[in-house]
Amino acid sequence: MGRSPFRRAAALVAATSLLVAACGDDDPDTTAEPAEQATTTTQASPGADQDRAAATTTSSAAPVQADEVIEVEVRGGEVVGGGRHEVALGDTVAIIISSDVADEVHVHGYDVSAHLDPGASTTLLVEASLPGVWEVELHDLGSLLLELAVS
Amino acid sequence: MAPIAGAAVVAGATPAAAHGVGSRADLPVEPWLFAYGAAFALLISFAALRLLWPTPRLAAAADGSAVPGAVDAAARRLALPAQAIALALFATTLAAAWFGPDDVSANLAPTALYIAFWVGMQVVSPVVGDVWRRLNPLWVIAAALDRLRGRDPEVSTASGAWAGHWPAALGLLAFLWLELAYHEPASLSAIAVFLSAHTVAVLVGAARFGAGWVRTGDGFAVLFSLLAALSPLHRDADGRLRVRIPGSGLAAVEVRPGTLGVVLVVLGGTTFDGVTRTRWWGDVVGDRRGWELTAVSTLGLLLTIAAVSLVYVLAVHFVGVLAREDLDLVAQARRWAPSLIPIALGYTIAHYFSLLVFEGQSFVALLSDPLGEGWDLFGTAADTVDYTVVTADQIAYVQVAAIVIGHVAGVVAAHDRAVERYSPRTAVVSQYPLLAVMIAYTVSGLLLLLNA
């Protein structure tokens, strides 16, 4: 858990993420195609170089280009749809999180972080290039959101 | 790219992992690798009964031969600076635990305790020998206190000997509880309290019984010295450095009251760590948190140690029955204890190899800024963990190899002891129960890797 990459990446991701809009209905079932509501997409592809925090923000109008979509919801301090999710090495994984409270989500190892806004859905794009079982955690709630098993 | 550490927006991470620090877990091993590992262990085991030596060999090899005097002298010259470094690291870790930031990614203490010290020394001791015997900061302090009082620290006092290794086993149980059962193993205050309590407990014993107490009462020191029995390097009674066949030292292990307790606590602890990584355990725990989680985990840890111990005690009971030996169960259980040492090491490597490789890199980075003050003492503060230094496949091979090799070494050590005690025919028969228990440990160890 090197502190520097973690913080550096977190800072960069936070600095470059944009909350596109804060409107739309709050139906959590519509998050598979997150075009209907407020969406923040954060993309990171860890590479050998230090610039692993290359984060981009995509428009909420376009569907997420991902090989694998994981939907998870934080409701009343509980995680719905957590647990271990298995993805293939090299896949682009979209983790779509809808939360009823503000929080900070962090994908360990990949060092991708994003802010969660209450009532909105946030999409983290992770290029699954590091094998292993990685924790994706919620910092404020202090608990595990899910595990990403990359093999 | 300029570091932007000051602009951090993310609060201190709370690792959900049970094993102290680290937020990455290994992938389950492939079923074929599991099958090969288990089959190989079985084959070797049965071959061992038929083909291994009919007379004891390890005891004769345990002494080895003296290394050249110059090598010995060079090793001795390393002792003082190494002691100084260990003492400085210990003091820094204690200071970081008490006064550093409550953030596992910015504070040296959790990584120093759980990775560099606990896992690191368990790997180092079987390779280079019982170096902790001299490096142990508690020994250095206790020896200095002894000299101040006009006592020779090297002259062992018999007054504390009645306790054997039981205080060590209790100390290790306390540590494993903190690491594996307590719900916040990386909490700085918990680490600070544990380190301080451990230090005070050992030093009080040393003040009462002399510095020799550190070598029998400090759980870490006892465990590392037991693991050093596997090392090709050791010092004889006169302090001369000698080289021997790796593992032959198992025949020379001095088993005291509580030594078996030390080994079983560690074996059970590592097994429990494996259990907690299974999905089954996830269902058992459910959504319990805080002290409720601690209570369930404590029960799980104690039950796992009890189960591992029960299986062993049952096996040695049947060894006695098959050998038609009139020996009480305690003595019988102690006799075979050394053969569990390589199995415990195999479990440790299988469970913590990747943690050591990855989080060990964090340790190097944190050394430059142990208290989270923004220092860069050794120019490593900005180093990042490279998760590509070993591949997932390599980790899996190391895991299975560690368990199988530990198993083979255990079988060989038990066989050697059997032919030493019994007639060749009885020796073979007597080993069936022990073989069964080792196969049980090995297969369950591999099963935990399969279901990780």
Shortest CA distance from A144: residue in chain B? B16
Q: How far is B387 from chain A (nearest CA, A)?
A: 7
Cβ within 8 Å of residue A56, ≥6 positions away: A16, A41, A42, A43
Choose between B199 and A109: higher pLDDT.
Answer: B199
Give the 3-state secondary structure of B180-224: HHCCCCCCHHHHHHHHHHHHHHHHHHHHHHCCHHHHHHCHHHHHH
Report phi then psi at A84, rounded to 5: -95, 130
Query: Would you state the pLDDT for residue B19?
Result: 61
CB contact under 8 A, B361 and A147: no
Is B237 strand, coil or helix? coil
Which residue of chain A comes nearest to B364, CA vs CA? A2
More confident residue, B33 or B305: B305
**Is it the case that residue B20 has pLDDT exceeding 80?**
no
- Rounded Cα distance between B421 and B55, Å, is 10
Given a contact cutoff of 8 angstroms between Cβ atoms, the answer to whether B452 and B28 are in contact is: yes
Lowest pLDDT segment from A44-58, B159-173, B231-245: A44-58
User: What average pLDDT does range B317-338 have in this prediction?
Assistant: 92
| Residues contacting B116, CB < 8 A, separation 6+ | B89, B360, B363
Q: How far apart are CA B176 and CA B183, in angstroms?
A: 12
The stretch B71-100 carries a mean pLDDT of 96
At B3, the amino acid letter reads: P
Cβ within 8 Å, pair A1-B22: yes
- Could A50 and B1 be called an inter-chain contact, meaning their C-beta atoms sit closer than 8 Å? yes
Give yes or no for residue B88 having a pLDDT over 70: yes
Task: Say if residue B212's pLDDT is above 80.
Answer: yes
Nearest Cα of chain A lies from the Cα of B32 at a distance, in angstroms, of 16
What is the b/e burial string over B241-267, where b = at least 16 CB atoms within 10 angstroms of the residue's CB?
Answer: bbebebbbbbbebebbebbbbbbbbbb
Amino acid in the structure at residue B226? L
Q: What is the mean pLDDT of residues B147-162?
A: 80
Alpha helices in B323-391 (DSSP H): 329-335, 341-367
Interface check A108 vs B, CB under 8 A: yes
> Could you count the other beta carbons within 10 Å of the beta carbon of residue A133?
23
pLDDT of residue B357: 96
Q: Determine whether the interchain pair B362/A132 forms a contact, defined as Cβ–Cβ distance below 8 Å.
A: no
Measure the CA–CA gap between B171 and B269, rounded to whole angstroms: 13
Q: Which positions ≥6 away from B67 have C-beta within 8 Å?
A: B233, B241, B242, B243
Residue B262, pLDDT score: 98
Residue contact A1–B452, C-beta within 8 A: no
The tens digit of pLDDT for each residue in B406-448 reads 999 999 999 999 999 998 888 888 889 999 999 999 999 999 9
DSSP one-letter code for A141: T
pLDDT band at B23; cut points 50, 70, 90 = confident
Q: Give the whole-angstrom CA distance, residue B98 versus residue B17.
A: 22
Q: Give contacts of B391 with chain A, Cβ < 8 Å.
A: 131
Q: Is A81 on the interface with B (CB under 8 A)?
A: no
Give the per-residue pLDDT at B9: 27
Nearest beta carbon to residue A133 from set B14, B24, B287: B24
Mean pLDDT of all residues in A61-79: 81
pLDDT digits (tens, 9 = 90+) for B330-383: 999 999 999 999 999 999 999 999 999 999 999 999 999 999 999 999 999 999
Residue of A nearest to B23 (CA): A135
The whole-number pLDDT of residue A42 equals: 60
Cross-chain Cβ contact A135/B24 below 8 Å:
yes
pLDDT in tens, B302-315: 999 999 999 999 99
Contact A4 B387 (CB under 8 A): no
pLDDT (mean) for B139-161: 85
Provide mean pLDDT across the span B284-296: 90
Residue among A149, A151, A144 at smallest CA distance from A72:
A144
Region of poorest pLDDT, from A42-56, A116-130, B143-157 = A42-56
Q: Is A132 on the interface with B (CB under 8 A)?
A: yes
Dist CA B312 CA B168 (whole Å):
20
Q: Is A76 within 8 Å of chain B by CB?
A: no
**Token couple for B81:** 């600076």
Mean pLDDT, chain A, as a whole number?
69
Written as one string, the DSSP assignment of A38-93 is: -EEEEEE---SSS-TT--B---TTSPP--SEEEEEEEETTEEES-SEEEE-TT-EE
Give the ipTM of the model, two decimals please. Answer: 0.79
- From the list A2, A48, A106, the residue facing B362 with the nearest CB is A2
More confident residue, B131 or A29: B131
Q: Does A80 touch chain B (CB under 8 A)?
A: no
More confident: B348 or A78: B348
B249 pLDDT more than 80: yes
Instruction: Note the pLDDT of residue B287.
Output: 79
Across the range B102-122, mean pLDDT stands at 94
> Closest chain A residue to B286 measured between Cα atoms?
A83
| pLDDT of the residue at B157 | 64
Using CB atoms, pick whichever of A11, A108, A137 lies closest to residue B8. Answer: A11
